[in-house]
Chains A and B, each alone.
Chain A
Amino acid sequence: MIFSTLEHILTHISFSVVSIVISTHLITLLVNEILGFHDSSKNGMIISFFCITGLLITRWILSGHLPFSDLYESLIFLSWGFSILHIVFCFKKHKNDFSAIIAPSVIFTQGFATSGVLTEMHQSAILVPALQSHWLMMHVSMMIFGYAALLCGSLLSVGILVITFGEVIQILGKSNNLYFLNESFSFVEIQYMNRNERNNVLQKTFFSSSRNYYRSQFIQQLDRWSYRIISLGFLFLTIGILSGAVWANEAWGSYWNWDPKETWAFITWTIFAIYLHTRKNTKLESVNSSIAASLGFLIIWICYLGINLLGIGLHSYGSFTSN
């Protein structure tokens, strides 16, 4: 009883702290540079990290096994993975660009976990025989860390895509503006117009080039970050899939069954392998690799939630008795 109350309290604290962090982010976005807000958001993330850690530990003690047995617990673990990523990058002293992506991820996963959709899962369940293995810890933790890192990295890539598409649209818009400007000026004396136009164009190109410089640098930064984080996630995903295969060979008698969850994990792996390979080719870099990563973002969600919600295959937990 005490445990479940504690669990409730921790859930609510972490959820509200993260929402406060997000609102501070929004405020700093609207009202320029209020000092101390960055620190507060960092502290907020640390608080929520400890809350989620406490939540996981209470569930662990309550159920007597590692809290990986169902979707609710794995979602909480996923948001814990997000926050640990955040903490790691905070300690590496890297701006708040990253927490702008991570904080909403944490709140979405946690919001989804605590929302009504999964209420019947909140009661921690028993572990079916197939899950009673030491491989559970290795396999699930690696998979979830992998998902967390890959989701972050691919979100950064989605960000790149959004920015570059915005740029394309903006360039189009600008040329239109210029055209209208010319039209309106065409009634004015030709000499004057020419001079004016030249000035105008000069100014515009100057502004846009300096803007473009910062923008391209920002895009490059995002790109490099997403590459680094996706490589990390890929590492975890590889270890997770392989340890899962070894486990399956212990429990089900075959290291690969083409079970839907397995297959989708492999598809995810393939997509991010494609991402890593597109980086090798300088022609395909940036935009194409971002497209691959964004595709990977969708596929992770299909793999992680879609298959579980459909409840097909061996990963629906309870497979043993249903045979």
Chain B
Amino acid sequence: MKTLSPLNSSNPCLLKTHFLKVPIFNPIFKFKPLPHNTHHARIAKVPSFTINSKLKSSQDINNTGKKSVSQKIVLSETSPPPLAVDKDDINGGSGSESVPVSSKKKGGVSGLAKKLSKKVLQILSNLSLAIGEMFTIAALMALGTVIEQGEAPDFYFKNYPEDHPVLGFFTWRWVLTLGFDHMFTSPVFIGMLALLGASLMACTYTTQIPLVKVSRRWAFLHSAEAIRKQEFSDTLTRASIEDVGTLLMGAGYEVFLKGPCLYAFQGLAGRLAPIGVHISLLLIMVGGTLSAAGSFKGSVTVPQGLNFVVGDVLGPTGFLSTPTEAFNTEIHVNRFYMDYFESGEVSQFHTDLSLLDMDGKEVMRKTISVNDPLRYGGITIYQTDWSISALQILKDNEGPYNLAMAPLQINGDKKLFGTFLPVGDINSPDVKGISMLARDLQSIVLYDKEGKFAGVRRPNSKLPINIDGSEIVILDAIGSSGLDLKTDPGVPTVYAGFGALMLTTCISYLSHSQIWAIQDGTSVIIGGKTNRAKMEFPEEMNRLLDKVPEIVESSSSQQVDTITSG
């Protein structure tokens, strides 16, 4: 406990508030500062501290206090510094995201414009407006899943006719004018999102940032009535406020003691984390905008053994899309193959890719599969699709011939590919031949001229099959790999937003509890409130207060009584 006193002397800010255990044990001295304060105001607010000094002091308290608690406090106390960083992010965000607000702010040289921007801020930060916006966005999204997206106008003419409007008013005119046929890129929806973003910023700026300033200074309550008015209050007879303080400290509270008054809090991070939630949402919005404006996308189906150039496949999606060096890369599909379960169903698709630079030198080689894309120079290559491009066969030991496969029927999950080997006169009008069908690269089903089932062969079995007098060996089934290519400059920002959002949402679950106590004679009046865990808080308090030791000796109590009553 003695280690605390050098801290006090070294830190001029702390001279006024004595930390726990510092007050002198003589009760007469103890109550000396009380009249000065109570004359001025009931709630004396201590001038705000810098975060640094606060951090230092709280950690020092922990070091002297119970060690088991220290981790808990460090958790709650280390989070404010990131907030200082986050504040810069708001400014960054407001610069790039909401054009209307910032432009109005910048134009505010004259008083009128300033007033206007203030008014706009006020309107935007209105909670009811924000709730309305969220509700509208939710409704629009729901509508977007109900109305078929991305169909041709004829579809909407047919499904939302004017003579039988849905719900009596909803016709194709609504759909097409408001752009509900492409809901998630429609101006209405994007506009609502932008408005919500503006509201988020306004709310963070006008409501949440001031909250940081308020919660940074702690307020002592100097009257018993004020303490009794709290959501939880209790009176402990024959107790000392120092014991209460020690117990609270042991329970992970930050405790401040000045004269007979005590103020303690816990979980301040839980109160400040919603700011982080808002900022990370803004970050995600910024990232999403970047993605929409600056990406390239494209997909390609490449037969095994062939090449393509990245730049030929990728097409820009927005006005900010600019191609990079890596677009000249040529990609060679070395091999496409599938893994199968024992039951014969496909378990995974693999494509072995080689990346070649302008000079034809291999710069990278990787086998990609679903859930395991390739990343190179900002380009990501995904395995998304497949098909069978050709069958390699020997006919009567001649060949090999490559027969192109065509997709025949795509019904639900099943793919079917087929090819045809003409037999006899190719130029006759009703040419007949052998049909070969395949569902995957594992087995080929063959049918004869009449369309009767002839047999099944595996591509690598080398087992000949004799149909209509010709011997056929299936050498190989050549698959082609369906690849999706993408560049997305927004991903780092979005991921940063995701991480921050997860973290701050978790921290937001913490409850910010505040406790005030005052020594009134031999009894201690204690009150407190919390912002989230309102059910658990009284129980926790009762459990804690049960541990407060009862003071038996009564030598000095009389003196104390006379002082406080006067």
> Which listed residue, B373, B484, B505, B534, touches A250 by the CB 8 Å rule?
B373
- Report yes or no: A130 in contact with B486, Cβ–Cβ below 8 A: no
Contact B412 A239 (CB under 8 A): no
B498, A270: Cβ atoms closer than 8 Å: no
B135 touches A274 (CB 8 A): yes
**Binary per-residue interface labels of chain B (401-421) against chain A in the complex, 1 for a CB within 8 Å, 0 otherwise:** 000000000101111000000
For B509, give its contact among A126, A231, A242, A321 (CB under 8 Å). Answer: A231
A132 x B371 contact (CB < 8 A)? yes
Which residue in A250, A256, A264, A323 is a CB contact (below 8 Å) of B371?
A250
B 218-240 to A, binary, CB cutoff 8 A, 1 in contact else 0: 00000000000000000000000
Give Cα distance in the complex from A182 to B508, angstroms: 55
11 A-B pairs with CB atoms under 8 Å apart are A126-B343, A129-B348, A130-B370, A133-B371, A224-B534, A227-B532, A228-B533, A231-B508, A270-B135, A273-B134, A323-B482
Contacts of B498 in A (CB 8 A): 242, 245-246
How long is the Cα–Cα vector from A170 to B42 in the complex, in angstroms?
45
B510-538 CB contacts (< 8 Å) to partner A = 532-536
Expressed in whole angstroms, the Cα–Cα distance for A274 and B132 within the complex equals 9
Flag if A253 contacts B380 (CB, 8 Å). yes
Knowing A258-B184, A320-B384, A321-B414 touch, does A239 contact B505 (C-beta < 8 A)?
A: yes
B181-222 contact mask (Cβ, 8 Å, vs A): 1 or 0: 001100000000000000000000000000000000000000
In the bound assembly, the distance between CA atoms of A252 and B149 in angstroms comes to 19
How many angstroms from the CA of A98 to the CA of B371 in the assembled complex? 41
- What is the 8 Å Cβ interface bit string for chain B, positions 270-293, against chain A (1 contact, 0 not)? 000000000000000000100000
Q: What's the Cα separation between A242 and B502 when bound, in Å?
A: 8
Task: Give the 7 A-B residue pairs with the shortest CB-CB distance, closest first.
Answer: A129-B370, A133-B371, A270-B138, A253-B382, A258-B184, A253-B484, A242-B498
Contacts of B268 in A (CB 8 A): none
B162 at the interface (CB under 8 A from A): no
Check B535 against A221 for contact (C-beta < 8 Å). yes
Cβ contacts under 8 Å, B141 to chain A? 263-264, 266-267, 270
- Whole-angstrom distance between the Cβ of B339 and the nearest chain A Cβ: 9
Which one of A9-17, A22-30, A42-50, A277-285 contacts B?
A277-285
Q: Binary interface profile of A, 52-74, with partner B (CB < 8 Å = 1, else 0)?
A: 00000000000000000000000
- B349 beta carbon closer than 8 Å to chain A: yes
Residues in B whose Cβ lies below 8 Å from that of A84: none
Roughly how many angstroms separate A50 CA and B141 CA in the complex, as a whole number? 40
What is the total number of residues of chain B having a CB less than 8 Å from a CB of chain A? 56
Q: A252 near B382 (CB under 8 angstroms)? A: yes
Given contacts A235-B505, A245-B498, contact A224 B535 (CB under 8 A): yes
| A249 at the B interface (CB under 8 A) | yes
**A308 at the B interface (CB under 8 A):** no
- Whether A274 pairs with B131 at a CB distance below 8 angstroms is yes
Q: A129-B348, A235-B509, A322-B410 are in contact. Are A253 and B145 (CB under 8 A)?
A: no
From the candidates B142, B145, B491, B502, name the one contacting A255 in the complex (CB within 8 A): B491
Evaluate whether A132 and B370 lie within 8 angstroms (CB atoms) in the complex, with A321-B415, A323-B385 already known.
yes
CB B292 to nearest CB in A, in angstroms, measures: 10
Main secondary structure of the interface of A (DSSP, over half): helix
Q: Which of A255, A256, A280 has the most CB of B within 10 A?
A: A255
> Whose C-beta in chain A lies nearest to the C-beta of B339?
A129
In the bound complex, CA of A274 to CA of B137 (Å): 11
Judge whether A225 and B134 touch: CB under 8 Å: no
Which residues of B, 93-146, contact A by the 8 Å Cβ criterion? 127-128, 130-131, 134-135, 137-138, 141-142, 144-145
A129 lies within 8 A of B535 (CB): no
- Determine the distance from Cα of A277 to Cα of B508 in the docked complex, in whole angstroms: 13
**Contact indicator B145/A228 (Cβ below 8 Å):** no
Whether A242 contacts B501 in the complex (CB less than 8 A), given A132-B371, A277-B130, comes out as: yes
B533-551 toward A: CB 8 Å interface, digit per residue (1/0)? 1111000000000000000
Residues of B within 8 A of A225 (CB): 535
B384 touches A252 (CB 8 A): yes
Contact B347 A126 (CB under 8 A): yes
**Interface assignment of A304: CB less than 8 Å from any CB of chain B:** no
Query: Restricting to B350-397, which residues have a CB under 8 Å from any CB of A?
Result: 369-373, 380, 382, 384-385
Query: In the complex the two chains form, is B491's CB within 8 Å of A249's CB?
Result: yes
Bound-complex Cα distance A254 to B127 (A): 32
Q: Please, how many angstroms separate the alpha-carbon atoms of A267 and B382 in the complex?
A: 28
> Is residue B49 within 8 Å, beta carbon to beta carbon, of the partner chain?
no
Asked whether B29 is an interface residue with its Cβ less than 8 Å from the other chain, the reply is no
Chain A: which residue is nearest B495 at the CB level?
A246
- B532 contact from A228, A245, A267, A318, Cβ within 8 A: A228
Residues of B within 8 A of A163 (CB): none
Beyond A228-B533, A323-B385: 18 further Cβ-contacts under 8 Å?
A: A92-B536, A129-B347, A133-B371, A231-B508, A250-B372, A253-B486, A258-B144, A258-B149, A258-B183, A267-B142, A270-B134, A280-B127, A281-B128, A318-B413, A321-B346, A321-B413, A322-B412, A322-B413
Centre residue among A232, A264, A266, A323 by max chain B CB count within 10 A? A323
Known: A253-B373, A266-B141, A274-B134. A235 touches B506 (CB 8 A): yes
CB neighbours of A318 from chain B (8 A): 412-413
How far is B371's CA from A135's CA once the two chains are assembled, in angstroms?
10
* Nearest A residue to B415, CB-CB: A321
Let me know if B341 is at the binding interface, CB within 8 A: yes
The total of chain A residues at the interface (CB under 8 A) is 51
Residue in B184, B501, B534 with the greatest tally of chain A CB atoms within 10 Å: B534
Instruction: Name A residues whose Cβ lies closer than 8 Å to a Cβ of B.
Output: 92, 94, 126-127, 129-130, 132-133, 135, 221, 224-225, 227-228, 231-232, 234-235, 238-239, 242, 245-247, 249-256, 258, 260, 263-264, 266-267, 270-271, 273-274, 277-278, 280-281, 318, 320-323
A130 touches B371 (CB 8 A): yes
Contact B535 A231 (CB under 8 A): no
Known contacts A133-B371, A235-B505, A235-B506; is-contact A267 B380 (Cβ 8 Å): no
**How distant is B252 from chain A, measured CB to nearest CB, in Å?**
18
Q: With A235-B509, A252-B384 in contact, is A277–B131 under 8 Å at CB?
A: yes
Instruction: Name the A residues within 8 Å of B468 (CB-CB).
Output: none
Find chain A residues with CB under 8 A from B128 CB.
Answer: 281
Q: Does B471 contact A (CB under 8 A)?
A: no
**Does B370 contact A232, Cβ atoms closer than 8 Å?**
no
Chain A hits for B502, CB < 8 A:
238-239, 242
Residues of A close to B135: CB separation below 8 A: 270, 274
Closest B residue, CB atoms, query A273: B134
Contact B144 A263 (CB under 8 A): yes
Q: Does B249 contact A (CB under 8 A)?
A: no
Given A249-B491, A267-B141, A322-B412, A129-B509 contact (CB < 8 Å):
no
Which residues of chain B are near A277, meaning CB under 8 Å? Answer: 127, 130-131, 134
Cβ-neighbour of B505 out of A132, A135, A238, A263 (below 8 A):
A238
A231 to B482, CA, bound (A): 42
- Interchain CA distance A320-B382 in the complex, whole Å: 12
Question: B370–A256 contact, CB under 8 A?
Answer: no
- Cα A224 to Cα B341 in complex, Å, equals 50
Q: How far is the CB of A17 from chain B (nearest CB, A)?
A: 28
* Complex Cα spacing A262 to B533, Å: 31
Docked Cα-Cα span, A129 to B288, in Å, equals 27
Q: Nearest B residue to A221 by beta-carbon distance?
A: B535
Max chain A CB contacts within 10 Å: which of B131, B142, B384, B506? Answer: B131
- Chain A residues whose C-beta falls within 8 Å of the C-beta of B347 in the assembled complex: 126-127, 129, 132
A281 — which chain B residues lie within 8 A by C-beta? Answer: 127-128
Task: Write the nearest CB–CB distance from A140 to chain B, whole angstroms.
Answer: 15
Cα distance, A198 to B355, chains bound together (Å) = 94
Contact of A267 among B138, B371, B415, B486 (CB under 8 A): B138
Chain A residues within 8 Å of B343, by CB: 126
Of A127, A247, A274, chain B has the most CB atoms within 10 Å of the CB of: A274
| B349 closest partner in A (C-beta) | A129
Is B314 interfacial (CB-CB < 8 Å)? no
The winner among B138, B373, B410, B532 for most chain A CB atoms within 10 A is: B138
In angstroms, Cα B131 to Cα A116, docked, is 41
